[in-house]
Structure 1
Amino acid sequence: MSTRLIRKEVDEALLAFVDRQRPGLLAISDELGPMLSALDALLAGGKRLRPAFCYWGWRGAGEGESPGIVNAAASLELLQASALIHDDVMDSSDTRRGQPSAHRRFEAMHQEQGWPGAAVPFGAGAAILLGDLCLAWSGEMYESSALDPDRLRRGRAFYDLMRTEVMAGQYLDMLEGTRDTGTVETALRVVEYKSAKYTIERPLHMGAALAGASDEVIEALSAYGRPLGIAFQLRDDVLGVFGDPAETGKPAGDDLREGKRTVLMALTLERADPAAAAVVRRRLGDPALDAAGVAGLRAIIEETGGLAACEAMIDRYAAEAAAALDAAPLTGEARQALGELTIAATARRV
């Protein structure tokens, strides 16, 4: 099994689960086929970070390789699919992972069929239902993972907490964008609950709890996972503005058009003079922002020192995570794998 992402094993587990679900859904109606096609397209991409951290939480607590832990960990990809589908609806995103977002796929189907009524609400409604289906299936895949019921009960406490936290974080993210009064502190709060805990800390906890880990191990994984999760999301925010579309799967500057109130933007506004701040506030969230507008906002982010400050935060949080990992009471193999995952999560540069 690969030392980092266990992607092949997770992919196989996901494919097998969805294939088992497929006949039952199509038995209701073959008109549900497009739902499965949209899900297949979404699940074909992704970094599989959450299953990897869950798996290495299990291995770090001393357990060996097991199909059961791969299945339980892979269920997190269905939870992630649900979150992405719903997030794209809320952000009116056109693309995800280099292809049309789910709601845009359903809009296009409505238009191609020439159905009466508006395509946009149909697309949004169908996508919301697909996201709900993914959320239901994530729980079903976890429960059917073939792990012992006592193990599943221990892991479920963190699984349930993670689902609550990510939804709370998503609401706080929407609130930040609506009020437009955010600070670095409030943006970091969104990062912690929408991404850091959800992407790294809770999957680690879940894997460790499934393995029966001690409180000492759970606390050590928090000391590592929380700062790494923050660093990961800060890096993602930088890439959302400066990244290569071939790498990010989204158009250049898409986070600017969507008006994301990230730590990067809060750092920029904190440092900008009144004229530059006015430009940022006027252009951030403009869906018609063109290449020149993106370039202009990028220039302000760099010239104010916002980008440099964000990079410094990434380095600081990554160093904190690395130090915590060195001190964590984990198996040597897990420590090495998590060290590689630390680099994979934070070392991407623009």
Structure 2
Amino acid sequence: MVKSVPTSLSPLGMGLPGIRRAVDAVLADFLHAKARTAVDGRLPDEITQLLHGFVFAGGKRLRPLLCALGWHAARGSGDIGPLIRTAASLEMFHAFALIHDDLMDRSATRRGRPTIHRALAARFRLSRRHDDSEHLGVSAAILVGDLALAWSCELLHTAGLCPARLASVLPVIDAMRTEVMYGQYLDVLASGRPSGKTEVPLTVIRHKTAKYTCERPLHVGAIVAGARPGLLAGLSAFALPLGEAFQLRDDLLGVWGRPDRTGKPALDDMREGKHTVLIALAFQAADERQARLLRTHYGDPHLDEDNADTVRTILKATGADLAVEHMIADRYEKALTALDRLSIPADARHHLRQLAEQSVWRTR
């Protein structure tokens, strides 16, 4: 039992920062306990150190926040310890997803720090533990990510949910995991092969972000509170356009974001050749010369700032950036309209609106 978790939750009194602190307390206690077990059993506690550093290097805690607000929207009451631990399990799953995502994207930094595979490779290189430190770093990072996945399951199953609530939550968690894996699979296949078609990137956005980041966390929290299907459908009407707007903003930040604010290099997405809605719209509107330049530079693993500026100029010249901004605004308004239709406590509505605004109009 995590003693620092409060016994009752009122977002008016606790606020979003309070929810974050409660979730962080669960994660810190859990990882501390795992570190003690590793030391006692003479296992490598560097894994827990790496995960602790990764989890607490930053992050918005968006999924745990939405989980807690879903619970409040469903008028949950009583001890919130099980809810907070369930929310923490979503953040641990997110750590797994990010670690593996960085491997697939060959990313060098995350949240302003070296990615797990890069940090491990550097550690092995310094300790001379292996001739091929890069391969060992990748292999070890896969295992660290796998362990985060296993521990997210452990956090959920030891959250203290009653058997009936756990049985209701598990299918939603299973669906969330499947959806994000399918979304990631489509994203991997489409990378390096951008075109003027928006169907694939919109499908990736729906599964990899809208459902995983927004819809399912809200559902999980609401189900923990005993919500009925009608509320879940209403929460979906809010969450799905919000999640799409969130990812469309992320795509813009992947091109124009400042690394000191986003925590990632400005050229990663362009070097990888991510097939985003932004690049698809640019191809649709590009003339022959612009399309040729996009095909030459977008997806070039050695892309430099000069050629990146060429890509950015074309994205603006074709109006792709403004078109994406319009899509973001449209989805944001749809989300708020759906939120206003929900029959939920006023403070839950207030915090969901606040979270939506922070997510969509963010600069990092």
Question: What is the TM-score of this pair, normalised by structure 1?
Answer: 0.96
* One of 40, 45, 52 as aligned partner of 1:33: 45
> How far 1:153 moved relative to its partner?
1.5
Structure 1 partner of 2:35: 22
Structure 1 partner of 2:8: none
* One of 61, 70, 73 as aligned partner of 1:60: 73
Structure 1 partner of 2:254: 240
The aligned runs of 1:114-129 (5 Å cut-off) are 114-129=128-143
> How far 1:87 moved relative to its partner?
0.4
The answer as to whether partners of 1:50 and 1:77 remain within 8 angstroms in 2 is yes
* One of 330, 337, 340 as aligned partner of 2:344: 330
Paired residues in the alignment total 349
The aligned runs of 1:181-196 (5 Å cut-off) are 181=195, 183-196=197-210
Range with bigger deviation, 294-303 or 171-180:
171-180
Structure 2 partner of 1:255: 269
Counterparts of 1:74 and 1:56 in 2: how far apart (Å)? 14
Range with bigger deviation, 308-317 or 108-117:
108-117
Summarize deviations over 1:191-232 as a string: whole Å, max 9, x none. Answer: 111111000001001111111111110000010000000000
The aligned runs of 1:102-141 (5 Å cut-off) are 102-141=116-155
Range with bigger deviation, 251-260 or 135-144:
251-260
Q: Letter of the 2:146 partner, please give it.
A: D
* One of 208, 222, 227 as aligned partner of 2:222: 208
> How far 1:178 moved relative to its partner?
5.1
* One of 265, 268, 286 as aligned partner of 2:300: 286
> How far 1:46 moved relative to its partner?
0.5
* SS in structure 2 of the partner of residue 324 of structure 1: helix
**Sequence identity (%):** 43
* SS in structure 2 of the partner of residue 250 of structure 1: coil
Range with bigger deviation, 256-265 or 130-139:
256-265
* One of 172, 177, 183 as aligned partner of 1:169: 183
* SS in structure 1 of the partner of residue 191 of structure 2: helix
> How far 1:101 moved relative to its partner?
0.1
> How far 1:18 moved relative to its partner?
1.1
1:81 and 2:95 are equivalent in the alignment: yes
* One of 5, 16, 24 as aligned partner of 1:4: 16
* SS in structure 1 of the partner of residue 265 of structure 2: coil
The answer as to whether partners of 1:182 and 1:261 remain within 8 angstroms in 2 is no
The answer as to whether partners of 2:196 and 2:284 remain within 8 angstroms in 1 is no
The answer as to whether partners of 1:54 and 1:206 remain within 8 angstroms in 2 is yes
The answer as to whether partners of 1:86 and 1:128 remain within 8 angstroms in 2 is yes
The answer as to whether partners of 2:169 and 2:220 remain within 8 angstroms in 1 is yes
> How far 1:301 moved relative to its partner?
0.9
The answer as to whether partners of 2:213 and 2:243 remain within 8 angstroms in 1 is yes
* SS in structure 1 of the partner of residue 15 of structure 2: coil
> How far 1:280 moved relative to its partner?
1.3
The answer as to whether partners of 1:58 and 1:210 remain within 8 angstroms in 2 is yes
1:42 and 2:92 are equivalent in the alignment: no
> How far 1:349 moved relative to its partner?
4.6
The answer as to whether partners of 2:71 and 2:223 remain within 8 angstroms in 1 is yes
> How far 1:110 moved relative to its partner?
1.6
Range with bigger deviation, 288-297 or 125-134:
288-297
Question: What is the TM-score of this pair, normalised by structure 2?
Answer: 0.92
Q: 1:158 to 1:182 in 2, by over 3 A?
A: farther
Counterparts of 1:289 and 1:38 in 2: how far apart (Å)? 30
